[in-house]
């Protein structure tokens, strides 16, 4: 059963048209900011004392974080620190051992399935692989959430899909299959699909990984422009420091299951913390040692010689 | 020595617990799938698409295998019966063997090898490429859109395929017995008409194939959904589908035969 009623579907269409023409066709400077309803908090995602483990391995150990309703928030950290896991916890795909994750005032892990799915309609997520449905064309992939959750007629769906694809520069690739596209193009299509229902937030999981400089540049500017055009919350998980910090309004660096530093990109670049300095500037040695813990080399060599 | 023995017992215990956990997960999964099948009422197109993929595309292997099995059955029956002057019973022997046993069992084994492994690989690959996660994040339940149509299609397709297998097998036997070996066409067809019982033979064969279809498709979709999303995990899951389905089919065949044909 579609969750979005026909009236709501019409609202989505109007909103998209208004935003699209405001942001992509008319004056670039003209935007229509979404007015904050009375009593609505500035914080969209509130994470408190989050604990999560995989087997014996602790991923999060009392992590707390606030993500504002508007702007780009970067979550950075070395590989394996649980950045993608954090997005899955925010999206309700994983359940924490303890702690709370609230999105728009709703405790994600206490919601019944139907309410959780309703909440997810207001979230968009861009997966690292794009996660496009391989048996559907680009057009059908972008149309998929609209067909599932609205009762829009075919002509309206076509208009919406073409507008979304045009926003990511791939209107001309509408009839291509995902297998015919490069990784960068697949991510742009996935981005068009993520904004299909005009979500209040978009989560980006490692959007720049494995991209050539041109594709990376395209994705960086797309994320930035879409965020300012749509006036939404963008959460970018990445370890590509320069690209991410260039568009982020604020950033959190996580390591060892906790947030070790938060602030604006400038404040993180000038941080006095040795750890943050090593991560942001990519120093090969520092608090995170170059060598994986091991016995002294002479001891190892001597034993091998024996 | 004692430590090694204790370790082995510990491993055995861990493996047993792991197996029961998996069985529990598979049972809960089955319950979810069956509840999700209700959604097919509003989306019949999904079911039709899967019926084509699971049923129609398996048809070739079923028809070819059925034809040869029937032909071989006719030859073997003829060589065994001709010494006793009972070669006219080839038709009824082949018909009963196919309808009661070979039709449902061989079809199920072929189905597990062709369609079951394909279902596991498809769902497993969707998991590995985050397509299932992507659907969840689009507020679309993959159980309803991906798993349920495939499960229902397998359940519906199996008895149809088994019936086609038996029918083609009997035609194959006719070609060998009547056209090649020169048996009388009238006795080839009339004996099965007298001896094959609608309830005891035909219906029981269909019930068997329904059970096999249920189990083989359940194993296939569960293995795909539960697989470790790596190339190695996917390979293991596909192998498990074929092995577990085949063993389950043969075991259930014994149980069902004992229940159905007990005197």
- The alpha carbon of B89 is separated from its chain's Cα centroid by a whole number of angstroms, namely 29
Give, in order, the Cα–Cα distances in Å from B126 to each of A23, A129, A181, B230, B242: 35, 12, 18, 11, 19
What three-state secondary structure class fits B140?
coil
pLDDT number for residue A298:
84
Contact: B130, A128; criterion CB under 8 Å = yes
Query: Contact at 8 Å (CB) between B152 and B35?
Result: no
Say how far apart CA A119 and CA B130 lie, in whole Å: 20
> What is the full DSSP assignment across A90-104?
HTTSS--SEEEEEET
Confidence check: pLDDT of B106 > 60: yes
- Among all residues of chain A, which has the CA nearest to that of B39? A1
How close is the nearest chain B Cα to the Cα of A35, in Å? 25
- The alpha-carbon gap from A275 to the nearest alpha carbon of chain B, in Å, equals 33
pLDDT at A2: 43
Whether B136 has its CB under 8 Å from any CB of chain A: the answer is yes
> What part of B 103-122 touches A (C-beta under 8 Å)?
none
Q: Do A149 and B130 touch (CB under 8 A)?
A: no
Across A56-70, A265-279, B155-169, least confident range: A265-279
Separation of alpha carbons B121 and B100, rounded Å: 31
pLDDT value for A17: 53
Rounded distance between C-alpha atoms, residue A61 and residue A67, angstroms: 19
Closest residue in A to B134 (Cα–Cα): A131
- For residue B89, the 8-state DSSP code is G
Residues 6+ apart with CB under 8 A from A154: none
**Statement: residue A1 has pLDDT above 90:** no
| Contact assignment for B139 to A127 by CB distance below 8 Å | no
Q: Which residues from B are below 8 Å from A121, CB to CB?
A: 138-139
Q: What percent of chain B has pLDDT over 70?
A: 100
Q: Is the ipTM of this complex over 0.85?
A: no
Beta bridge partners of B187: none
Q: Does B24 touch chain A (CB under 8 A)?
A: no
Contact A176, A138 (CB under 8 A): yes
Highest mean pLDDT of the ranges A50-64, A290-304, B57-71: B57-71
> At residue B200, does pLDDT exceed 90?
no
pLDDT computed for residue B42 by the predictor: 83
Question: How far apart are the C-alpha atoms of B50 and B40, rounded to whole Å?
Answer: 12
**DSSP states along chain A:** --SS-HHHHHHHHHHHHHHHIIIIIS-TT---PPPPPTT--SEEEEEEEEEEEETTEEEEEEEEEEEESSEEEEEE-STTSSHHHHHHHHTTSS--SEEEEEETTEEGGGS-HHHHHHHHTTEEEE-TT----TTS-HHHHHHHHHHHH----HHHHHHHHHHHHHHTT-GGGTT--GGGS-HHHHHHHHHHHHTTT--SEEEEESTTTT--HHHHHHHHHHHHHHHHHHT-EEEEEES-HHHHHHH-SEEEEEETTEEEEEE-HHHHHT---HHHHHHHHT-SSSSS-SSPS-S-HHHHHHHHH-
pLDDT of residue A18: 53
Q: Using CB atoms within 10 A of its CB, is residue A214 exposed (0-12), middle (13-18) or buried (19+)?
A: exposed
Report the alpha-carbon distance of residue A43 to residue A137 in Å, rounded: 37
pTM for this predicted structure: 0.83
Which pLDDT score is estimated for A278? 84
Interval A269-292 mean pLDDT: 80
Give mean pLDDT, residues A117-138.
Answer: 91
Backbone angles phi, psi at B27, to 5 degrees: -70, -45
Contacts of A299 (CB under 8 A, 6+ apart): none
B residues 42-81 lying closer than 8 A (beta carbon) to A: 42
pLDDT confidence tier of residue A282, bands split at 50, 70 and 90: confident
In chain A, residues 114-143 whose CB comes closer than 8 Å to chain B: 117-118, 120-121, 123-125, 127-129, 131-134
Check CB contact under 8 Å for A121 and B139: yes
Does A183 reach chain B within 8 Å, measured CB to CB? Answer: no
If pLDDT is split at 50, 70 and 90, which confidence band does A302 have?
confident
Question: Would you state the pLDDT for residue A11?
Answer: 52
Tell me if B133 and A127 make a contact (CB, 8 A cut-off).
Answer: yes
Q: In the beta sheet, which residues pair with residue A237?
A: A75, A205
Distances (CA, A) of A13 to A155, A157, A161, A197, B135: 11, 9, 10, 9, 22
Query: CB contact, 8 Å: A302 with chain B?
Result: no
Question: In angstroms, rounded to a whole number, what is the distance separating the alpha carbons of residues B111 and B134?
Answer: 30
The distance of A197 to chain B (nearest Cα, Å) reads: 9
Q: Cβ–Cβ of B134/A123 closer than 8 Å?
A: no
- Window 68-107 of A: residues touching B by CB (8 A cutoff) are 88, 91, 93
């Amino acid at each position: 059963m579609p969750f979005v009623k026909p009236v709501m579907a019409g609202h989505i269409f109007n909103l998209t048209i208004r935003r699209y023409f405001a942001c992509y066709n008319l004056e670039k400077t003209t935007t229509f900011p979404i007015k904050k309803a009375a009593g609505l908090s500035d914080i969209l995602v509130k994470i408190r004392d989050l604990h999560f483990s995989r087997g014996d391995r602790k991923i999060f150990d009392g992590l707390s974080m606030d993500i504002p309703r508007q702007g780009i928030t970067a979550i950075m950290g070395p590989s394996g620190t649980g950045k993608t896991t954090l997005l899955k916890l925010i999206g309700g795909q994983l359940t924490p051992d303890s702690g709370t994750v609230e999105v728009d005032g709703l405790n994600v892990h206490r919601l019944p399935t139907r309410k959780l799915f309703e909440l997810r309609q207001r979230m968009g997520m861009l997966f690292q692989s794009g996660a496009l449905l391989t048996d559907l064309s680009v057009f059908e992939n972008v149309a998929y959430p609209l067909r599932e959750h609205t009762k829009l007629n075919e002509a309206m769906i076509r208009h919406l899909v073409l507008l979304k694809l045009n926003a990511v520069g791939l209107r001309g690739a509408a009839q291509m299959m995902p297998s015919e596209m490069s990784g960068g193009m697949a991510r742009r299509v996935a981005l068009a699909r993520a904004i299909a229902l005009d979500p209040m937030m978009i989560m980006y999981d490692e959007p720049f990984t494995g991209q050539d400089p041109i594709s990376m540049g395209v994705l960086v500017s797309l994320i930035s422009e879409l965020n300012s055009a749509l006036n939404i919350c963008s959460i970018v998980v990445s370890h590509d420091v320069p690209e991410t910090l260039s568009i982020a309004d604020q950033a959190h660096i996580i390591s060892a299951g906790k947030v070790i530093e938060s602030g604006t990109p400038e404040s993180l670049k000038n941080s006095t913390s040795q750890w943050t300095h090593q991560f942001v500037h990519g120093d090969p040695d520092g608090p995170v040692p170059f060598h994986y813990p091991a016995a002294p080399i002479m001891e190892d060599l001597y034993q091998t010689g024996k | 020595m004692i430590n090694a023995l204790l370790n082995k017992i510990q491993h055995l215990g861990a493996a047993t617990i792991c197996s029961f956990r998996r069985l529990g997960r598979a049972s809960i999964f089955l319950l979810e799938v069956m509840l999700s099948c209700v959604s097919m009422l509003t989306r019949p197109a999904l079911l039709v698409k899967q019926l084509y993929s699971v049923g129609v595309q398996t048809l070739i292997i079923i028809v070819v295998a059925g034809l040869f099995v029937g032909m071989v059955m006719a030859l073997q029956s003829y060589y065994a019966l001709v010494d006793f002057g009972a070669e006219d019973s080839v038709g009824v022997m082949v018909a009963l063997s196919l309808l009661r046993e070979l039709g449902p069992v061989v079809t199920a084994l072929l189905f597990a090898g062709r369609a079951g492994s394909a279902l596991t690989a498809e769902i497993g690959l969707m998991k590995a490429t985050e397509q299932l996660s992507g659907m969840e994040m689009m507020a679309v339940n993959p159980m309803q859109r991906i798993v349920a149509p495939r499960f229902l299609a397998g359940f519906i397709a199996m008895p149809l395929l088994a019936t086609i297998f038996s029918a083609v097998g009997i035609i194959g036997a006719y070609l060998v017995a009547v056209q090649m070996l020169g048996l009388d066409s009238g006795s080839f067809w009339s004996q099965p008409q007298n001896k094959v019982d609608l309830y005891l033979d035909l219906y029981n064969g269909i019930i068997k194939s329904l059970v096999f279809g249920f189990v083989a498709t359940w194993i296939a979709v569960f293995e795909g959904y539960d697989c470790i999303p790596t190339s190695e995990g996917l390979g293991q899951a596909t192998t498990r589908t074929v092995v577990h389905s085949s063993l389950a089919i043969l075991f259930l065949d014994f149980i069902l035969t004992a229940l159905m044909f007990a005197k």
